[in-house]
Amino acid sequence: MREYKFRGISIETLVGDDQWLYGFGVHEVAYVEGRKEYWLNTESGTYMVDPETVGQYTGKKDEEKNEIFDGDKLYAPGNLDADLQYVGTVEWDDNDNRWEVASFHGRFEYIPDGCFVRGSRWDNPDLLEGGYE
């Protein structure tokens, strides 16, 4: 059975600004005061999160057993040169109905084995600037 987990950055001072929250469901509230609200259900309650940061768990873990979520930045070893490390962002592909990793040089068709989570597009937006190491 597949696990459905979500995460998002809290925008409530009650929890703490810029704090990642993890939960089991997200629901959208109709536009309130001209903006869309997203609420994340967690074990300790329901909290408002930044809609841009909401991501779903892919069902996969990296080499260090970290769960991989939509929006995570992954490092993966190069297939021709083990010293070359590629970096890309996990995204859902609506056309192929699967999780893929987008990078500056194209798309991996899957989340590669041997990869490592190194932040997210929100925590480390500059990781993709160089494309690879």
Q: Give pTM, 2 decimals.
A: 0.81
Distances (CA, A) of 14 to 26, 35, 58: 18, 20, 28
Please give the mean pLDDT across all residues of the chain.
82
Q: Of the candidates 13, 38, 12, 113, which has an alpha carbon nearest to the alpha carbon of residue 68?
A: 113
Q: Of the candidates 7, 11, 5, which has an alpha carbon nearest to the alpha carbon of residue 50?
A: 11
Q: Is the pLDDT of residue 89 over 80?
A: yes
Q: What percent of the chain is helix, strand and coil (3-state, nearest 5)?
A: 5, 55, 40
User: What 3-state DSSP class applies to 92?
Assistant: strand
Q: What is the pLDDT of residue 14?
A: 63
Q: What is the pLDDT of residue 8?
A: 93
**11-17: long-range pairs with CB below 8 Å, 24+:** 11/48, 11/49, 11/50, 12/47, 12/48, 14/47, 15/47
Strand order in the sheet with 98-103: 106-108, 98-103, 85-93, 72-77, 116-120
Q: Is the pLDDT of residue 130 over 60?
A: no
